[in-house]
A and B are shown apart, each in its own frame.
Chain A
Amino acid sequence: MCYLKTFDPTVPMMYFLCVMSICVFTSNPYLQACSLVGGVVMLILLKGRKSIKLLLMCLAVITVMGLTNPLFVHRGLTELFYIGEAPYTLEALLYGISLGSSIASLLIWFSVFNAVVSQDDILAVFGKRLPKTALVISMILGFIPKLRKQYTELKHAQYANSAAGTKRLHRTAALFTACLSAQAESVIDISMSMKARGYGLKTRTYARRRSFRRTDGAAIGIVLALCMICYVYIGSGKLDYWYYPRLSPGGFEPAASGCYLLLCIMPVFFIIKEKFLWRSCPAKT
């Protein structure tokens, strides 16, 4: 995890974009399997025991999606049984599982994303291209604790601890608006403080902690290359996979699946490398 942090925040963002853009939209079961495997491995490596809850949830999603899809869709030739008039088909079942696993892998990958990419990373990526947007986000993040503190203080000052039902709603709303009117008084002071420090004089820049290095470029290059290979295969139609009316026989392309699997488990390499580095690290006493 820490080793992943040594990259410019653009690298993980670009990486997740590439992985997710394929795993969510493809209906090729082999690619889906790759992304699920990669995502699960990453999640367990990063979060350990905390990941169990999410994994169980994903399992539930896949099961539910798989079992319910044939209730809506009646295509497919392999009829398992009939519910009323409508057939319950194997193809629809498998298609449901495929849908479920693409949702599951999205959930898993976003969980990994949230574990790897922090608030500051998002700000840094925004800040590079959109310094003003980054500034506003930073201001919002500054305002939230201020407002929260204000709310607690107001609540205490007004003795508004306990109440229930609509009375509580009214009280909370009154305190909430009081929060706004108190903070609104500071709007002019804050904007003055901004102007005093030269806001609006020139085009803003953004102070990034680190510059973009050659390794970052290389990492992005590898990620993009692997991603492009997959896209070329997808575009050429060799990975087309259909469930209806019958499961398609082909769709398995070792090169493409290999590339995608490699893409999905690439960070695992860094996580393991870090573990080895620490094992032989002189800093360890």
Chain B
Amino acid sequence: MEILSCKNLSFRYNSSTHDTLSDITFSLESSGIMLVVGKTGSGKSTLLRLLKKEIAPAGKLSGSIRIFGKDHSELSLTESTCSIACVSQNPDTQTVTHKVSAELAFALENLGIKPSQILSRVGEMSAYFGIEDIYDKPIDQLSGGEKQLCCLCAATVLSPRILILDEPVAQLDPIGSGKFFAALRRLNSELGTTMLIAEHDPDEVFEFCDSVLVLDNGRSVYYSDRESFVAAARNDPLLRGWLPAQTRAALKLGKTVFTVKQAKNLLEERFPQADIPQAPAKPRSKAKASLKAENVYFRYERSGKDVVSCLDLDVYSGEVFAAVGSNGSGKTTMLKLLSGILRPWQGRISINGKAVKSHASGSAAYMPQDPYHLFICDTVRHELERTSSDKQLIHQLCTDLGVDHLLEMHPYDLSGGEVQKCALVKLLLTQPDILLLDEPSKGLDPQAKAIVGKTLRELASQGKAICIATHDLEFAARFADRCGLYFNGCIHSAAPCKEFFSQNRFYTTASSRIARNVFADVVTADELEKRIAGGDSL
């Protein structure tokens, strides 16, 4: 049964001169899952918001939206609230109240339902999702993944038939997003909830979606079911960019698979002769470390637990070092220590042989997880000129990083990729030797990630020492020289990137897991494709 459909949908914002969405047609069967992919700013969010009446943006709409077989103008607000639920990107801007229990009851309270009924519905919900242990907690004490799960529960407590998700895991680490998607799949398979998921990094959704809509610049580039999408992607590099590593690898071999397991078997069947692992890369020449931490300990409270303990770390100039590890393990704390924002109670951190006394030493620059925090002025130019009076330098850096057209913008109007670059300009103005970046790829679409990664590589080639903390293994594998696992307060097994990922069995990229027994040194999707192509031609 068709539950939701759009026909020739076009939309123009009131203040805009061009269509944000034009001529979009799709239809969604009951309990289907549709994936909407597209770059940041391609109109995904606008499309999703248009489907939910209460939050639809103001503007000129043409074409038709039919929900439950009715035109959406006939749908009452109450109906729309009860049958369509919505979860968006940032859990912090969705939670309204201070406690999980209040958040879950919020929607039911709004509809004026009796208190006793509210409690039974909420209880049912939290038992179903297994969140009883966080039920009574204040929301600010939850991890990002728990917060987003709480948002999902709060949205689905009205038992909606359609669930709209706008990049729901963009802010989460792999563990959190895994749990979130598990909950979604359960909702879909046990309750038959129809879902519309917008993503710019659709690896995980691809495994369980039914149809795919690709948006570019407000136009629908491609719309079909998943299998035909993969078939079409064979000849279209643009579409192929949206496929997960395992599907891309299998596509090279002429098959359509969706899971790592299948791809791995396929690859091992096709290349029975295991690749002989190469000798590990030659050990680094004993260059002097640019940034050195020795036996560093740190804790936030006197009687608390050590967040960083017995940390040893060397970062050399001209390299990108990536500390990988899950959220909340203390990576951010480590970067703050290295930059001198926090002081260790034990141990020594030195930059070019000089001990870091405080941030005033100035040769290490720190980029926070949320780069917007670097901007407190009203325009980017204002902020940059506050940081440095050298206009020549500002101009040069802006042209180098390609941000000169953004200078007059308000920082909060920039997109994620743009603000990363502007933030880098701001950091480079202090002419640091060392750059410390916290989650530089968080919330970015693949294109923006590539640009940020390339910029980092260029900076490294100019002789800067760059240390990033990330949970994005793919990003680390593509752009880092060396990686280390941050776990339990210190960095374990720092090694050259390839060695690191090919030795890790669990905590590694999908490509490495697929190709482990065949091409031992392959860690990124691009490399895997190349090797398969090369292997085939042999």
Chains A and B in contact, CB within 8 Å: yes
Stretch of A72-80, A154-162, A244-252 that contacts chain B:
A154-162
A270 sits at the interface (CB 8 A): no
Q: Which residue of A lies closest to B343 (CB)?
A: A161
A253 at the binding interface (Cβ < 8 Å): no
Question: Does the CB pair A182–B97 fall under 8 Å?
Answer: no
Is B207 in the interface zone, CB < 8 Å from A? no
Do A202 and B110 form a contact, CB below 8 Å, given A157-B366, A196-B55?
yes
Q: Which residues of B (130-171) have their CB < 8 Å from a CB of A?
A: 138-140, 154-155, 158
Question: Please, which residues of chain B bring their CB within 8 A of the CB of A280?
Answer: none
CB distance from B140 to the nearest CB of A (A): 4
Asked whether A168 is an interface residue with its Cβ less than 8 Å from the other chain, the reply is no
Partner of A146, one of B92, B118, B412: B92
B77 / chain A contacts, CB cutoff of 8 Å? 198, 201
Chain A residues contacting B116 (CB-CB under 8 Å) are 211
Report the bound CA distance from A195 to B105 in whole Å: 14
Q: A154-B373, A197-B106, A199-B110 are in contact. Are A161 and B341 (CB under 8 A)?
A: yes
Write the chain A residue with the least CB distance to B110: A198
Quick one: which of B99, B376, B412 contacts A175, CB cutoff 8 A? B376
Partner of B109, one of A131, A158, A186: A131
Q: Which residues of chain A are near B139, meaning CB under 8 Å?
A: 142
In the bound complex, do residue B93 and residue A193 qualify as a contact, i.e. CB atoms below 8 Å apart?
A: yes
Given A201-B78, A205-B109; A135-B97 close (CB under 8 Å): yes
CA distance in complex: A196, B106 (Å)? 11
Say yes or no: is A174 at the interface (Cβ < 8 Å to chain B).
Answer: yes
Interface of A is mostly: helix
A175 to B377, CA, bound (A): 10
A140, B158: Cα distance in complex, Å: 25
Q: Fill in one digit per residue for A207-251: 1 if any B CB lies within 8 Å of its CB, else 0.
A: 111010000000000000000000000000000000000000000
B355 CB-CB contact with A under 8 Å: no
Cα(A177)–Cα(B114), bound, Å: 41
Cβ A138 vs Cβ B98 within 8 A: yes
Q: List 14 A-B contacts (CB under 8 A).
A: A141-B97, A145-B138, A146-B92, A156-B368, A158-B373, A181-B412, A186-B92, A190-B96, A196-B81, A198-B54, A198-B77, A198-B78, A207-B101, A207-B105
Chain A residues, CB < 8 A from B424? none
- Contacts A201-B110, A205-B113 given; does A138 touch B376 at CB 8 Å: no
Given contacts A189-B94, A193-B93, contact A205 B81 (CB under 8 A): no
Say yes or no: B95 contacts A142, CB within 8 Å: yes
> A207 to B108, Cβ gap below 8 A?
yes
Q: Per a CB cutoff under 8 Å, which of A182, A203, A207 touches B118? A: A207
Apart from A142-B96, A156-B341, list 9 A-B contacts with CB within 8 A. A140-B98, A158-B374, A190-B96, A193-B96, A197-B85, A197-B107, A197-B154, A200-B110, A205-B118
Taking the nearest CB of chain A, how far is it from the CB of B358, in angstroms? 7
B65 within 8 A of A: no
Contacts of A140 in B (CB 8 A): 98
Q: How far does the alpha carbon of A244 sit from the alpha carbon of B107 in the complex, in Å?
A: 62
- Is B119 interfacial (CB 8 A cutoff)? yes
Tell me, in angstroms, the Cα distance from A156 to B93 when the chains sit together.
22
In the bound complex, CA of A229 to CA of B529 (Å): 89
Q: Give the dominant DSSP class at B's interface.
A: helix
Taking the complex as formed, is B102 at the interface, i.e. its CB lies under 8 A from any CB of chain A? yes
B188 sits at the interface (CB 8 A):
no
Given that A161-B341, A182-B372 are contacting pairs, would A196 and B110 also be in contact in the complex, using a CB cutoff of 8 Å?
no
- Interfacial chain B residues near A207, Cβ < 8 Å: 101-102, 105, 108-109, 115, 118-119, 122
A44 contacts B by Cβ under 8 Å: no
Residues of the B chain whose Cβ atoms lie less than 8 Å from the Cβ of A190: 93-94, 96
Return the chain A residue nearest B376 by Cβ: A178
Task: Assess the B78–A189 pair: CB atoms within 8 A.
Answer: no
* Distance, CA A211 to CA B260, complexed state (A): 52
Q: Which of A178, A198, A208, A211 contacts B107 (CB 8 A)?
A: A198
A195 touches B54 (CB 8 A): yes
Interface residues on chain B, size class = 35 or more
CB < 8 Å: which of B88, B98, B115, B369 contacts A193? Answer: B88
The answer to whether A154 and B81 touch (CB under 8 A), given A190-B93, A204-B109, is no
CB distance from A74 to the nearest CB of B (A): 54
Write out the residue numbers on chain A whose beta carbons fall within 8 Å of the beta carbon of B155.
196-197
Residues of A within 8 A of B99 (CB): 120, 138
Bound-state Cα–Cα, A174 to B115, Å: 44
**Distance of B306 from chain A, by nearest CB (Å):** 19
Q: Is the CB of A204 within 8 A of B112?
A: yes
Assess whether A202 is in contact with B96, with CB atoms less than 8 Å apart: no
Inside 8 A of B445's CB, which chain A residues have their CB?
Answer: none
Does B22 sit within 8 A of A, measured CB to CB? Answer: no
CA distance A202 to B110 in the complex (A): 6
Output the least CB separation between A96 and chain B (Å).
Answer: 44
The answer to whether A189 and B93 touch across the interface, beta carbons within 8 angstroms, is yes
A199 to B54, CA, bound (A): 10
Is there an interface contact between A205 and B138, defined as CB atoms closer than 8 Å? no
Q: Which 4 A-B pairs have the closest CB atoms?
A: A189-B93, A145-B140, A141-B98, A142-B98
- A203 with B112: CB separation less than 8 A: yes
Chain A residues within an 8 Å CB radius of B114: 205
Q: A206 to B368, alpha carbons, bound, how many Å?
A: 39
How far apart are B158's CB and chain A's nearest CB, in angstroms? Answer: 8
Q: Is B482 on the interface with A (CB-CB < 8 A)?
A: no
Q: Tell me if B524 is interfacial: C-beta within 8 Å of chain A.
A: no
- Is A204 a contact of B376 with CB atoms below 8 Å? no
| Residues on B with beta carbons closer than 8 Å to the beta carbon of A5 | none
- CB pair A198–B111 under 8 Å, yes or no, is yes
Q: How far is the CB of A134 from chain B (nearest CB, A)?
A: 9
Name, among A135, A145, A186, A205, the residue most crowded by chain B CB atoms within 10 Å (CB to CB): A205
Which chain B residues lie closer than 8 Å to A175 at the CB level? 376
CB of A272 closer than 8 Å to a CB of B: no
In the complex, chain B residues whose CB is within 8 Å of the CB of A193: 86, 88, 93-96
Q: Which residues B33-78 have CB closer than 8 A to chain A?
A: 52, 54-55, 77-78
B336 at the interface (CB under 8 A from A): yes
Residue of A nearest to B359 (CB): A159
User: B19 on the interface (CB 8 Å rule)?
Assistant: no
How many Å from the CB of A137 to the closest CB on chain B? 9
